[in-house]
Amino acid sequence: MEKYDIIIVGAGPGGLTAGIYAGRQGTRNLILDKGFAGGLGREVPEMENYPGFDNISGMELIDKMKSQAIKNCELHENENVLEIIKTDDEYMFTVKTDNDSYLSKTVILATGSSHRQLNAKGEEEFKGKGVSYCATCDGFFFQGRDIIMVGGGNSALQEALYLDNLGANVTLVHRRDEFRAQKHLQNQIKEEGINVIYNAVVEEIKGDMLVESVVLKDTQTGVLTDLPINGIFISIGYIPHTELAEQLGVDLDESGHIIIDKEQKTNIDYVYAIGDVCVGLKQWVVACGEGAVAATSAYHDLKK
């Protein structure tokens, strides 16, 4: 089996940054990702708060980060990690994938998260038939069509603005009476004249072959309303991927996120965690910072 000093599981913004920092420290490192580098970062239509760029898409920034990472670190895309086994050997971690097995002295978990679902009636049935979780992936197909964006955070408002700019007829649906998103984004929604329905949740998604309408429930009155639409985009948060962490006995908080200290260390020696899978602010720049810290922590621990 190939031997490494650091194996990073996940090639999102945090994982790629960890690879850059690890490589520059002179260690032998490997990044593994079950899909393409970038993870959910590939879906971000545009960012206006990433330092150094007035405006940049997630895909463009990932391409830049990936190009930099592979100069410093091995990267295996489309290789899913199935199991991590800890032993008492010098290379104490055996990382098993669907393609091979590797040995490593340390592991950085950058396993990210997935889109949280509404669990509404019809949601599973109409996935890919009008139900979407990615505006940049599917927005083009809804130009000139009536759609709703469900959510009230930064991602929901960013994607609503993106879809509106593509020419879709967007209505935002939020279960509360005010958004959680940054004020800047809320102001943009008002400026663009995007319709908003507050205090409403999606009870059912209906249609024949494709989505044709949704049933909205007023959270205050309980009144049901049938709203004709062609598509529904959902952005209501994320579920952390902690399966590998749980295998290793890593501590999680009550919300299911990995608990880390200021050096990105978990309760298991030589296991670190970064990004959306951890407790903390879910922002691209935060994941990158955590990646730098984790790679540096791993290096110092190896030296000890």
Please name the helix (run of DSSP H) or strand (run of DSSP E) that holds residue 187, with its range, or none.
Answer: helix 183-192
Q: Which long-range contacts (CB under 8 A, 24 or more apart) does 163-170 make?
A: 163/135, 163/139, 163/233, 164/192, 164/194, 166/139, 166/140, 166/142, 167/143, 168/139, 168/142, 168/143, 168/144, 168/231, 169/144, 169/145, 170/194, 170/195
**Distances 218 to 108, 178, 214, 277, 294 between C-alpha atoms, Å:** 44, 14, 13, 33, 45
Type of residue numbered 258: I
Residue the block writes with tokens 């490494």: 4
Parallel, antiparallel or unpaired: strands 211-218 and 224-228? antiparallel
Type of residue numbered 279: V
Q: Which tokens belong to 94?
A: 């055996």
- Report the catalytic residues: 134, 137-138
Burial 35-46 (b: 16+ CB within 10 A, else e): eebbbbbbbbbb
The strand pairing partners of 213, in sequence order, are 206, 228
Q: How far apart are CA 60 and CA 121, in angstroms?
A: 36
Q: How far apart are CA 264 and CA 245, in angstroms?
A: 14
Torsion of CA 14, 19, 24, 26, to 10 degrees: 140
